[in-house]
């Protein structure tokens, strides 16, 4: 918790003015799913895809020239198992590096899940170790569409008598399109029920030339790994509150106030404390609209949202200005999000109702579906 909250303070110090005219307001963006009560989290190994995988299938040719060759698919059960291992490593490292969770490793989580087959109460086992929830990743679908094709090109050559000849040659290519469906299921160890499921899908392709002497196409695991890596941002957005900044441009000195000019120079140089002091003085002495607006910006950049909102209300009592109204609405939204994000970090979420008895059916359903 300290690590995440301290990052806000660092952002205040480092990014209060990100360029000569822009002020950054830091806040904590809450995750889509409130994980405040599930920070002690057990992460299982990814359940591999269990559908059909063509073992010795021939790749179809899209034309008569490509159809002459017998090239096998690069898709195999070893690709399936390798992708599941990669999914496990990516998920665990992504959550670990967020600094938000106290994680139980996949190997230890798997061992407890396996004990359920011998009559042990899985939820009780996790609770005894202090873990609030179990996250089970599962690859529900892995499909690969492959074909080969040819492209003609001209080749000129000269015979021994100096005559030029043209021949038509062919370059051969393959195209692989891979699609994946990846689901994360969160199970509450207190209630033994599913809290949420989140599904991620993607499809990618690659085209490349190949030598007809090949017997097998390239392993499509590369495409699956790229897609799994691309899910990391979405996973963090779903499960982890994170520090964000909202950038706002300073209001120009119009109508011009000579006393405020030095504040703009301070802001450009990154001297935010002096800039704020001058803007506040100018506002209080002359009700200069840009100075009041800019002072509110710098106050908000320090995380003092209530104080900034009070100042903006004061400005609105004297001026009807859309930029002031817009900033007021934006800071209201930021304050609300920050309060929710801080609540998630501090774990101040509502308690779950205790379950009368536990069974392992929900775990088995997710693992063996």
The better pLDDT of the pair 149, 106 is held by 106
Residue length of the chain: 369
| Per-residue model confidence as pLDDT tens digits over 261-276 | 999 999 999 999 999 9
pLDDT band at 254 (very low <50, low <70, confident <90, very high): very high
Tell if the pTM clears 0.85, that is, is over it: no
Q: Which one-letter DSSP state was computed for residue 274?
A: H
Burial of 365 (0-12, 13-18, 19+ CB in 10 A): exposed
Distance CA 280, CA 14 (A): 22
Residue range 237-266: mean pLDDT, rounded:
95
Q: Is the peptide bond before 337 cis (omega within 30 degrees of 0)?
A: no
pLDDT at 356: 43
Domains in the chain: boundaries? 2-21+251-346, 36-240
Q: Which one-letter DSSP state was computed for residue 75?
A: -
| Per-residue model confidence as pLDDT tens digits over 122-131 | 999 999 999 9
Top-tier CATH class for 36-240: alpha beta
Domains 2-21+251-346 and 36-240 share a fold: no
Angle between helices 272-286 and 289-301 (to 10 degrees): 140
Third-level CATH fold of 2-21+251-346: 1.25.40
Phi/psi zone of residue 157: left (φ > 0), alpha (ψ -120 to 50 degrees), beta? Answer: beta
| Per-residue model confidence as pLDDT tens digits over 58-101 | 777 767 766 777 788 888 889 999 999 999 999 999 999 999 99
- Would the CA dihedral through 100, 102, 105, 111 be positive or negative? negative
The mean pLDDT of the chain is 88
Contacts 24+ apart (CB under 8 A), 221-225: 221/79, 221/82, 221/83, 221/86, 223/176, 223/178, 224/79, 224/83, 224/86, 224/142, 224/178, 224/180, 225/83, 225/86
Distance CA 20, CA 22 (A): 6
Percent of the chain with pLDDT over 90: 69
pLDDT band at 353 (very low <50, low <70, confident <90, very high): very low
Q: Pairing between strand 164-188 and 133-158?
A: antiparallel
pLDDT at 312: 97
Distance CA 11, CA 302 (A): 9
pLDDT at 352: 46
| Per-residue model confidence as pLDDT tens digits over 161-199 | 888 888 777 888 888 999 999 999 999 999 999 999 999
Q: Is the pLDDT of residue 17 over 60?
A: no
Q: Which helix (H) or strand (E) holds 148?
A: strand 133-158
Distance CA 48, CA 88 (A): 10
């Amino acid at each position: 918790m300290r690590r995440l909250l301290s990052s806000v303070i660092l952002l205040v110090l480092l990014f209060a003015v990100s360029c000569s005219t822009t002020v950054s307001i830091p806040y904590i963006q809450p995750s889509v799913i409130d994980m405040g009560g599930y920070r002690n989290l057990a992460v299982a190994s990814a359940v591999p895809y269990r559908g059909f995988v063509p073992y010795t299938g021939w790749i179809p040719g899209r034309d008569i020239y490509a159809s002459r060759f017998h090239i096998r698919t690069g898709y195999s059960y070893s690709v399936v198992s390798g992708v599941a291992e990669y999914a496990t490593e990516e998920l665990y490292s992504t959550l670990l590096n967020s600094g938000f969770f106290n994680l139980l490793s996949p190997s230890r989580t798997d061992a407890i899940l396996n004990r359920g087959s011998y009559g042990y109460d899985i939820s009780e086992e996790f609770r005894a170790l202090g873990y609030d929830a179990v996250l089970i990743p599962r690859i529900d679908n892995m499909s690969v569409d492959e074909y080969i094709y040819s492209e003609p090109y001209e080749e000129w050559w000269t015979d021994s008598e100096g005559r030029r000849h043209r021949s038509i040659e062919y370059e051969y290519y393959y195209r692989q399109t891979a699609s994946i469906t990846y689901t994360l299921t969160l199970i509450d160890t207190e209630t033994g029920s599913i809290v949420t499921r989140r599904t991620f899908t993607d499809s990618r392709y690659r085209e490349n030339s190949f030598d007809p002497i090949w017997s097998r196409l390239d392993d499509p695991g590369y495409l699956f790994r790229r897609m799994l890596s691309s899910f990391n941002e979405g996973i963090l957005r779903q499960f982890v509150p994170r520090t964000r900044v909202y950038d706002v441009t300073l209001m120009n000195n119009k109508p011009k106030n000579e006393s405020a000019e030095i504040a703009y120079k301070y802001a450009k140089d990154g001297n935010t404390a002096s800039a704020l002091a001058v803007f506040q003085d100018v506002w209080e002495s002359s009700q200069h609209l840009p100075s009041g607006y800019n002072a509110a910006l710098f106050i908000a950049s320090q995380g003092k949202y209530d104080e900034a909102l009070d100042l903006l209300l004061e400005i609105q009592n004297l001026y009807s200005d859309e930029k002031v109204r817009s900033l007021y609405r934006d800071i209201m939204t930021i304050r609300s999000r920050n309060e929710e994000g801080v609540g998630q970090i501090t774990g101040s979420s509502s308690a779950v109702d205790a379950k009368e008895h536990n069974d392992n059916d929900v775990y088995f359903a997710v693992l063996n579906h």
